[in-house]
Amino acid sequence: MVIYRVPGGEQVKASYYDNEDHIIQYTVSPLPGKGGLVFVSDALPSAPRFRLTYTAAGADSVAIKFEFAPPGKAEEFRTYLEGTARRTTPAH
């Protein structure tokens, strides 16, 4: 994923690429009051819409939720995956 500020403004965008040739263009916003970020893809009439949310879940962890909405139902998000990522100290 490449995250960038739109030139000449404050808006933040992101482009996601994977090894299955998926490309998702996101608009990035802060998560109000929770310490996190929300990535929401554009609503296109013939394609699913995606929402990826990262929420602070402690000093060394983040909750992650990936949702999708079916084509033509841009606001009807359903959870596809969710979990937690934790920072660990490398073993010596």
Give me the tens of pLDDT residue by residue for the chain, a chain 92 residues long. Answer: 999 999 988 899 999 999 999 899 999 999 888 789 999 999 888 899 999 999 998 889 999 999 999 999 999 999 999 999 999 888 77
Reduced to 3 states (helix: H, G, I; strand: E, B; else coil), residue 78 is: strand
Retrieve residue 24's tokens.
């998702």
What pTM, to 2 d.p., does this model score? 0.86
Within 13 Å and on the Cβ side, how many CA atoms surround 9?
Answer: 5
Domain ranges of the chain: 2-86
